[in-house]
Amino acid sequence: MKKKTIHNEQLGYHTPEGYFEESKKEMLRFLENQKPEVKTNTALRQLIVGAGIIATVVFGVITITNKSYQTESFEQLTIESLEVSDEEFDLWFDENFVLNDV
Amino acid sequence: MDSEAHIVQQLKNKQFALAVTAISDTYHELLYWHIRKLVKQHEHANDALQNTYVRIFKGLPKFGFKSSIKTWCYRIAYNESLRFLQQQQKLSYNDSNDETTDYFAHLTADPYFDLDSVSHALHESLAKLSEKQQQVFQMKYFDELTFEEIADITSWNVNSIKTAFYAAKEKITLHLTATV
């Protein structure tokens, strides 16, 4: 009551008749349809976050390793495909140059 | 057992519906006036108060018992009022550069404001204060909050709050002495 008087008299703020009683009931009625947000156990939450971080790191490491392995095998394959044995080269050289000259 | 201890006990027992009813019994009117002074108009204060209740109710299970229930509720009401004002600012285009005119335009737009019944000089002097000085002065003078409580609510430094309050008090006194 004291607060209401101060605000009315010094600041000129008024409220509708019976506002506080009515609004209190109305707001509590409104909350009946709401549910409080359930707090997750802090320890459990930390465990979940920790597990998430570890999973991300492991996934990242596996992905990077896999990728570098794949790159490595591709490069190896490419180089190997260019390799020609000495024997094959001699045969090819003989056929195309040496024998042609004869 | 005082009301604060009673609410804390209910929260510890996870009786959230009872706790919010007890909060309402203790702080309903105080929260309304706290919000009203920030948003100025009754309808806006009513909307912001309803949002405050929803946030209080949803936040009760997360209450960490680090501050009092009173400052926690005030803090929610304060943040809700600022959010409301920000939304209002986004929606309205204002070409006036005069802060005193804006201040009175907000007040007189409210049917539940009666300028004739109050000291026009007090509102005039409040309008001349910075936003921070206005808030601090009103929380200290009308809400009778301590500097530490205001610091908890606003997250401002206690010393800067004291400086703002004394500067506001001096300006108001000077203005009232000159006009009355």
The pTM score is 0.73
Is residue B160 over pLDDT 60?
yes
DSSP B113: B
Range of the domain at A67: 2-101
Give the pLDDT score at B153. Answer: 96
Q: Which residues of chain A have pLDDT under 70?
A: 1-2, 37-42, 68-81, 98-102
Tokens of A77: 């394959």
Q: How many CB pairs under 8 A join A and B?
A: 90
Angle ∠(B72,B77,B80) on CA atoms, nearest 5: 125
Q: Please say whether the beta carbons of B80 and B48 come within 8 A.
A: yes
In this complex, do B123 and A11 lie within 8 Å of one another by their Cβ atoms? Answer: yes
Give the pLDDT score at A80. Answer: 67
| Percent over 90 (pLDDT), chain B | 67
Give the pLDDT score at A77. Answer: 66
Residue B62 is nearest to which of A8, A35, A39, comparing CB atoms? A39
Give the pLDDT mean for B69-76: 95
Give the total number of structural domains in chain A: 1
Of the spans A57-66, A92-101, B100-109, B159-168, which averages the highest pLDDT? B159-168
CA distance A9 to chain B (A): 6
Is residue B96 over pLDDT 60?
no
Q: pLDDT of B24-50, one tens digit each?
A: 999 999 999 999 999 999 999 999 999
Give the pLDDT score at A46. Answer: 82
Q: In terms of C-beta distances under 8 Å and separation of at least 24 residues, what long-range contacts does B79-83 make, across chains too?
A: B80/B35, B80/B48, B80/B51, B80/B52, B80/B55, B81/B34, B81/B35, B81/B38, B81/B39, B81/B48, B82/B38, B83/B51
In this complex, do B37 and A11 lie within 8 Å of one another by their Cβ atoms? Answer: yes
Between A56-70, B64-78, B95-109, the lowest mean confidence (pLDDT) is in: B95-109
Domains identified in chain B and CATH numbers: 1-93 (1.10.1740.10), 115-180 (1.10.10.10)
Q: Is residue A15 less than 8 Å (CB to CB) from chain B?
A: yes
Give the pLDDT score at B93. Answer: 64
Higher pLDDT: B94 or B11? It is: B11
Give the pLDDT score at B121. Answer: 83
